[in-house]
Structure 1
Amino acid sequence: MCGRVILTLSAKMIRQILAEEYDINDLNIDDFVPRYNLGPSQDMLSIIKHNGDYRSGYLKWRFIPSYAKNQNDGYKYINARSETVHEKVTYREAFSKRRCLLICNGFYEWKRSEVKKPFLFHRKDFNLITLAGIWQPQHLDDGSKEYGFSIVTTEANEVMAPIHHRMPVILDDRHAKLWLDQSTSFEELQHLMKPIHKDYLSCYEVSDYVNNVRNQDEICIQSIQ
């Protein structure tokens, strides 16, 4: 699964990468501050494709089904399993029509033992990671509207497996645009929703300081080894 991420690059670097890779040149993130512990209910930087153009902005990390009794039900659906995302009534329309990329440069997972131990997964250079997601417009209890997302997960690769049996679907540069393209076939999408190759990620143990989502500073990503 995936329940916490980081985005610690500078606004300048994020703009540069999105401009070079997706021709997004109007990204308004002047107020951006690095996020060391971003979790559900918070906004995450995303990329969608609309009318042939790539667009970037923030989506809310929760996915509220049309049948939900209240908006808090959305926190039950922060992840969607790749094996069933195309058929579950909660996700299938979004999977078919509204796929997105979620932008981070690392994510946490907890190893279950007598005491749960958090680990940070990242690229060796801490560069951007694009996660496969689905998004939708959704209505809140007060009648207002927001745009929410769920991260698609798959079985763990060799790096993740010692810590957890699931991981987010990570799309490298060759495959990210295929995920956003409406013409990509279901068979191709199934191929994309596989564990990333083992050399893509590294990980190390961090302190339980990260367990509290209110903690949002560099201590979160410090190795304890």
Structure 2
Amino acid sequence: MCGRFTLETSKEVIESELGIELSDYIPSYNIAPTQQVLALVGTNQGNKAGYLQWGLIPSWSKDPKIGSKMINARSESVDEKPSFNRLLTRRRCLIVADSFYEWKKDGGEKQPYRITVNDGGLFTFAGLWDRWQQQDQTLVTCTILTTKPNALMDSLHHRMPVILEEQARNDWLNPRVEDKNYLKSLLQPFETSKMAAHPVSKRVNNPRNNDHALIEPVS
């Protein structure tokens, strides 16, 4: 799964690499569910960047609290679940990050690890989004898709987030791409050789902690 990640890359690098413009940007070393996350959505006029609330609330849901339980969606069955089926062809997004955390069970404890991609570079998770409205309240929310682990992640957890490289990113955001089988074929484990992991402080367990020390290796 993916329950916590970071985005501390500079605004200028994000804009340059993703071809977007950001008006508001605050780096974070400990992005947690229900917080706002930077995302890209594809339209017929091009890609748009903005912030979505992490934790999908389906448009038909009666209770917005369900979002805290829907931070991830299994890619293998995404076209079968009522919460996600229609979103696969209509409401796809990319969630921007530069590392994520996973917890490895070690006896009776869990050790957090920071996982990076392409030597700590910027990357994007495959996601889905939806708009929930009730009376005068509107929430635009998202979920991160997960898949089976690669060799690196298998030593930490039985699932991993779907990370898309450039060509897959373009197709994922293209609103004209609607073939569910093709879209699901993009949701594969990322290449092991392009990822690295190191243990970090258990201070990351508390989402109120948010500083550079969280991403530094510990022995």
1:143 Cα offset (Å): 3.7
Tell me, in whole angstroms, the C-alpha distance in 2 between the residues paired with 1:73 and 1:186.
25
Find the counterpart in structure 1 of residue 200 from structure 2: 206
Of Structure 1 and Structure 2, the greater strand share is in 2
Matched residue type, 1:219:
A
Q: Which of 71, 75, 88 lines up with 1:82 in the alignment? A: 75
1:116 Cα offset (Å): 0.6
Contact 2:41–2:92 under 8 Å retained in 1? yes
Matched residue type, 1:164:
H
Tell me, in whole angstroms, the C-alpha distance in 2 between the residues paired with 1:163 and 1:127.
21
Q: Which of 52, 65, 74 lines up with 1:59 in the alignment? A: 52
Identity among equivalent positions (%) equals: 37
Find the counterpart in structure 1 of residue 13 from structure 2: 13
Find the counterpart in structure 1 of residue 116 from structure 2: 122
Contact 1:209–1:219 under 8 Å retained in 2? no
Instruction: Describe how 1:121-140 pairs up with structure 2 within 5 A.
Output: 121-139=115-133
Gaps of 5+ in 1: none
Find the counterpart in structure 2 of residue 167 from structure 1: 160
Offset from partner CA, 1:111-152 (integer Å, 9 cap, x none): 123101100110243111110000011136x74102100000
Contact 2:34–2:67 under 8 Å retained in 1? no
Tell me, in whole angstroms, the C-alpha distance in 2 between the residues paired with 1:118 and 1:124.
20
Three-state SS of the structure 2 residue aligned to 1:199 is helix
Gaps of 5+ in 2: none
Give structure 1 regions of 4+ aligned residues with deviation exceeding 3 angstroms: 66-69
Offset from partner CA, 1:35-82 (integer Å, 9 cap, x none): 100011111111111124111111110111345442111111110000
Tell me, in whole angstroms, the C-alpha distance in 1 between the residues paired with 2:26 and 2:22.
14
Find the counterpart in structure 2 of residue 193 from structure 1: 187
